[in-house]
Chain A
Amino acid sequence: MRNSIFAYCFQFIILILFQVLVANRILLWGMITPYVALYFIVSLPVAIEKWIQLLACFFLGLCIDFFENSGGANAAACVVAIYLKPFFIRLFYQGEESLRDLYLSKERPLQLFGVLLAIILCHHIVLYTFEFFDISFWKIIIKYTLWNTVFTFIILLLCIAIFRNKPRYV
């Protein structure tokens, strides 16, 4: 248990550094940034107390906000994403007895895709709404959300395929 706590702290720091120093510098077509830090939200085990998850993701977002001068946009988006994660898992993995951690399995890949897309979409809508903070920008908000969702989805799927290809138990 203690090892896994260290592992998640390490992951937390590495993901923030990677996000602000590398990923945020990638601006495809002037707007697409892969949101790698979402991997932390996806990979947090559902067995951890909910309030710890909420606080951890809040600080994850807050750290990125510090670098990005974006107020509390990332913090809000991360909190919404982690809060809604169990709902999405229940929605897409219907019929399974309990909540489960997300990993790539050959039997049910579509469910994972669904949960991932839902989490990313929610995160990005909140992020860009808070970042632009002006409803007259709704067209740009939707454009940014959709393009970035597609791109982040591909990146997160790659991360999951590399690091989480078998079930783990905390």
Chain B
Amino acid sequence: MQQIFDFLIRRRNPLLFLLLILISYAMTVQSHSYHRSKFINSASRITGGLFEYQTDIANYFKLKTYNQRLLEENSKLKTLLSQFEIDSSSISFKAPYNYTAASVINSTYHKSNNYLTIDAGINDSIKPDMGVITDKGIVGIVENISDNYATVLSILNNRSSINAQLKKTNHFGSLKWNGKKPNIMQLQDIPRFAPIAINDTIVTGGRSTIFPKGIPVGKILNFNLDENANFYEIDVVLFNDMTDVGFVQVIKNENAVEIKQLESIHSNEK
């Protein structure tokens, strides 16, 4: 027994080194598996608060651009409303999707697993698995939340997989990222008989409870068939500039719980 203690004390530095490396390794593994990165994330009060102060200052210099984008979106929405001839002051039906505005206080796009931190959390009734978009396209999915902040799993993340489809037909596949360029993503599993062409628009598929159908994603840059020649592998240029995401909207699907309950009945039957 004495010898073991002697050994431990004599070798305490290499042992401590190994222990710390093991802990970091475990945390890294955890952060790379979906919905497991609970402990180390920037949604906490301290990290979120600091980022918010900094963004307050940084945003001041981008006010002009953001204002311009808001104006453009406003006019686009007004045109849409006028097409349907609805008086915007009299809308009272319960919409299936609700939108909450938030601003991005931290974001990365140069790693293989990118995240954003936004300044909306439990107090703004944000929950995990809500979709996040901008006026131009999709951004990601809410992962961890605290009272006032939330981290968003960026679409530029190895773990991200978004249901997307061609705008002109209903052929759908999954949108993933190969970790190379922050403006190009890969659309997989589109069957070979789908009629596709360069510059075709890709939109969200609406086959999950996260994003509504038809939110713009990007357009086709190039495509080729996979090894077995059954499915296309398509490079998509994003409409959204992921390197400069200022303001976002978080989508709440009012029917998500109901849909998930229904679907869980089916999965239980299997």
> Which A residues form the contact surface with B (CB < 8 A)?
17, 20-21, 25, 27, 30-31, 50-51, 54-55, 58, 61-62, 65-73, 75-76, 79-80, 83, 130-134, 137, 140
Known A-B contacts A31-B110, A66-B41, A134-B112; the reply to A54 vs B13 at CB < 8 A is: yes
A sample of 18 more A-B contacts (CB under 8 A), given A65-B40, A72-B27, is A25-B58, A51-B16, A54-B20, A55-B16, A62-B40, A67-B106, A69-B117, A70-B111, A71-B27, A71-B30, A72-B28, A73-B28, A76-B24, A76-B28, A130-B28, A131-B113, A134-B158, A140-B179
> Would A137 and B112 count as touching, CB distance under 8 A?
yes
Q: Closest residue of chain A to B57, judged by CB?
A: A21
How many chain-B residues does the 8 Å CB contact rule pick out?
A: 42
- 26 A–B contact pairs at CB < 8 A? A17-B50, A50-B13, A55-B16, A58-B20, A65-B40, A66-B40, A66-B41, A66-B42, A67-B106, A69-B40, A70-B28, A70-B40, A70-B113, A71-B30, A72-B26, A73-B24, A75-B23, A76-B20, A76-B25, A79-B24, A83-B17, A133-B32, A133-B112, A133-B113, A137-B112, A140-B112
Please, what's the 1-or-0 string for B1-42, where 1 marks a CB less than 8 Å from any CB in chain A?
Answer: 000000000001100110011011111111110000100111
Once bound together, how far apart are the Cα atoms of A54 and B115, in whole Å? 28
Known A-B contacts A54-B13, A54-B16; the reply to A71 vs B40 at CB < 8 A is: yes
Known A-B contacts A71-B32, A140-B179; the reply to A130 vs B24 at CB < 8 A is: yes
> Would A75 and B110 count as touching, CB distance under 8 A?
no
Pick the residue among A71, A83, A130 that contacts B37 (CB under 8 A): A71
List chain A residues, Cβ under 8 A from B46. Answer: 66
Once bound together, how far apart are the Cα atoms of A72 and B37, in whole Å? 11
> Which B residues form the contact surface with A (CB < 8 A)?
12-13, 16-17, 20-21, 23-32, 37, 40-42, 44, 46-47, 50-51, 54, 58, 106, 108-113, 115, 117, 151, 158, 179-180, 182, 243
Pick the residue among A17, A72, A133, A140 that contacts B40 (CB under 8 A): A72
List chain B residues, Cβ under 8 A from A66. Answer: 40-42, 44, 46-47
Q: Which residue, A67, A69, A130, A133, has most C-beta atoms of chain B within 10 A?
A: A69
